Structure 1
């Protein structure tokens, strides 16, 4: 795939462009919509082969594969009257917008593929879930860190719900930092230490020979500090509350 268009250049659009254009691969042409004008202009100045188009129709016309990354609530304004020929491939990265909904909006028979790219695609380190499997789309996201095609939209929605936990993880770390600062530790020192602590822990996730539960067990000693926090804070009630929140989110996504 040599010509890729992106309609809606926010955080995910920016990450995709960086992932495509950083490094030695200079063969891809990227066409950006004027939505998110500041980011689009910045990207076109930084990367050769990235161009900002006059409007969304020009993005579609000049591209082989079109990524639609506008916010859910903006999709009708952004996509109104857009003509998408059947030989294009459309990648839908709008959270909570199914392909049937998008097909009705675009009035096209072009292949539509849902995808969940995450910001780490900029470093080509994020596995992207897609539905349905499509060779050109699979190839694109394999290049950006990996692709995980799923069997149906129900499975896709489960993975989409999982992405809703990301900022809770950041908030957990922020809470640890605030607690340490409340104990008299300089905030900058607490922040630096918590970041270092969990960056190191995160690298252990690369060891796929051990399950997540095994990794947890390997970081605990019987009656030790880690076991104490896990069993007293992340108890059965806490676990059930998290699962209930995910159930409710999944119901909304469906």
Structure 2
């Protein structure tokens, strides 16, 4: 069961009054932070903890050890690798103020594990995908809803709170991993067109434009994907000839079933690794 909403993306986060601490700032956490800063989040409200001490954005404070910040209040986003939770989690837990809220984007790590590590603190599990950088992402969330978290996540794109966390890894495989699979499809179609004789740059440009238009029409249309396919394909036509290959023996459905299963199962393995 899910509780979903697609909130209006805030025009500005200039009035956001909370504080945000990112423990780790890799690709995903960095994309989230960059989007929030673009929306007007004051850099002085953001602190990043990273061992390298390397700068992340103008005006954002960077420290190498979270102990320097103790006690840490407000929202604390865990942006390191899930396998590092057993080693990094205790230091974070020691530094937290009683009112801190922990947001984890650690793949596969369940709420129960977070609540055990950060006992007494409000914990939220989140899984964004990379299009959050442009405000067109999907963010899955589990845990007790929080108004400040809602405000920040709304700026990243479509949000969905899951009433039942049990299927979180499968949802994550679909929305969190899904962009990479779509990029691979774009790469494959471009490669195929190139092998058949089109210039690579033209093939890529046309494929990107086609995907943009097709995805936009799928979002706007009340029709199912199957009904949209029927609108494009005519019996005995070019499109149908290609569909006959894609649909042969259910190969395409089987490939994506196996793909999502593998990603989901890896999430469970990462959870086991996070528990040490």
Q: What TM-score does the superposition give when structure 2 sets the normalisation length?
A: 0.79
Match of 1:116 in 2: 127
Q: Give structure 2 stretches of 5+ with no counterpart.
A: 1-16, 269-276
Report whether the alignment pairs 1:171 with 2:184: yes
Match of 1:240 in 2: 254
Match of 1:87 in 2: 99
1:17 equivalent among 19, 30, 33:
33
Q: What TM-score does the superposition give when structure 1 sets the normalisation length?
A: 0.85
Structure 1 residues 132-151: Cα deviation after superposition (integer angstroms, max 9, x where no partner):
24123223212322321111
Match of 2:167 in 1: 155
Report whether the alignment pairs 1:33 with 2:57: no
CA RMSD of aligned residues (A): 2.5
Deviation at 1:28, TM superposition (A): 7.2
Secondary structure of the corresponding residue to residue 9 of structure 1? coil
Distance 1:60 1:218 in 2: 60
Of structures 1 and 2, the one with the larger relative CO (CA 8 A, separation 6+) is 2
Match of 2:137 in 1: 126
Distance 1:208 1:135 in 2: 32
* Closer/same/farther in 2, CA of residues 102 and 176 from structure 1, 3 Å limit: same
Match of 1:209 in 2: 222
Distance 1:177 1:194 in 2: 6
Deviation at 1:240, TM superposition (A): 2.6
Say if 1:115 and 1:130, in contact at 8 Å, map to a contact too. yes
Distance 1:129 1:56 in 2: 27
Match of 2:194 in 1: 181
Structure 1 residues 9-45: Cα deviation after superposition (integer angstroms, max 9, x where no partner):
011111111111114454871111124644xx132x2
Structure 1 residues 211-243: Cα deviation after superposition (integer angstroms, max 9, x where no partner):
333333333333332332223223313313422
Distance 2:210 2:257 in 1: 26
Structure 1 residues 66-105: Cα deviation after superposition (integer angstroms, max 9, x where no partner):
1101111222333233313332111111001112223333
Say if 1:7 and 1:35, in contact at 8 Å, map to a contact too. no
Q: Give structure 1 stretches of 5+ with no counterpart.
A: none
Aligned residues: 247
Distance 1:94 1:113 in 2: 11
* Closer/same/farther in 2, CA of residues 215 and 53 from structure 1, 3 Å limit: farther
Distance 1:118 1:59 in 2: 29
Distance 1:13 1:141 in 2: 12
Secondary structure of the corresponding residue to residue 157 of structure 1? helix
2:112 equivalent among 83, 88, 100:
100
